[in-house]
Amino acid sequence: MHSAVLPNGKVIGAASYDEQIHGLQINCMDSACGAPVIFIKGKTDMAPHFKTSGHGDSVHKEKCGFARQLSFQETVSKVGEYQASIADNGVRQIAIRLNLNDVDPDYEKQVIERDVKEKEEPKELDEKMLKDKPDTPASISSLKTIKKLFTTVGPDILAGILLHVKGRKIPVSDMIRHHEQAHTALWEGETEDIPYFIHGKVERVTRRGKVWFINFSKTDNGYFSLVIFERHFPHFTYKDEDLIGKEILAYGYLRKNDFKEGQQSSEMIIKSNKYIEFL
């Protein structure tokens, strides 16, 4: 882990930890844990970090985000939990450019023109860049990268990521939501005009002549559907059985659908296979 908590409650990043200043009493930053941890100095191939010693109390508790490898969904939840303490304590935050133009089939022509002019595209973010100091600008240009990060990188590091999108820097945990949370936030006016990453389990696929709907499981609050319009059908080749019952991550803008009176539904328009990643 790359952050730990000091006796005064402050969270400290391993890169700025100094035994002389901060003392030896350092603990796991997860509020469900607090196990004593030790500091490990950095080497050329390894960033400084904190770890439990495995002796006595120095073992992560069961509910701790560092106790074991977390699933995608568990990581999203822990990143949300840690995000505020990382930001409030001035622990290193990393701004990453989010550029998903390449997933958009309507964007293709411009990409080809731009490739010739601009060879210096930011590198796709990977695990190594986050652990070392990213001196080259990095970007996220696919849902695969999001999935990979959230299944390989520690939740404390992820909690320090700010995504640069539409001229703003947004904590990554604010942009990845379960469909039920996103639906509630949208109807309560608590979402922004930025793209979101929505995860959940597909319950049903409905294919009409001009539009297809992929429904997440119904909740007490209403429906959440992914919508694909006819002109994008050729770019979306998943069959019903590829989708139904699967946990997926989808990307797009949230939209209210109040077409049916008395029923609040939310939807997200997607245009191709690349707008979905299986979790």
267 belongs to the binding site for Zn ion (CB under 5 A): no
33 belongs to the binding site for Zn ion (CB under 5 A): yes
In the complex with Zn ion, the residue whose CB is nearer, 64 or 228, is 64
State which of residues 11, 28, 153, 198 lies at the interface with Zn ion (CB under 5 A): 28
Measured from the CB of residue 68, what is the shortest distance to Zn ion in angstroms? 11
Residues 48-67 contacting Zn ion, CB under 5 A: 60, 64, 66
17 belongs to the binding site for Zn ion (CB under 5 A): no
Which candidate, 170, 192, 185, places its Cα nearest to that of 253? Answer: 192
From the list 33-41, 86-94, 128-136, 210-218, the region that binds Zn ion by CB under 5 A is: 33-41
In the complex with Zn ion, the residue whose CB is nearer, 33 or 138, is 33
Measured from the CB of residue 208, what is the shortest distance to Zn ion in angstroms? 49
Name the E strands within 142-269. 161-165, 168-171, 176-178, 196-207, 211-216, 223-229, 247-252, 254-257, 265-269
What contacts 231, CB < 8 A, 6 or more positions away? none
Q: Supply the Cα-derived Rg of the chain in whole angstroms.
A: 21
Binding residue count for Zn ion, defined by CB under 5 A: 7
Q: Which amino acid is at 177?
A: R
User: Dihedral of CA 46/156/176/94: which sign?
Assistant: negative
Beta partners for residue 15, in sequence order: none
Measured from the CB of residue 250, what is the shortest distance to Zn ion in angstroms? 31
In the complex with Zn ion, the residue whose CB is nearer, 28 or 158, is 28
Q: Which amino acid is at 170?
A: I
Please state whether 241 falls in left (phi above 0), alpha (psi between -120 and 50) or beta: alpha
* Tokens 């609040």 found at: 264
Measured from the CB of residue 63, what is the shortest distance to Zn ion in angstroms? 9
The residue ranges that bind Zn ion (CB under 5 A) are: 28, 30, 33, 35, 60, 64, 66
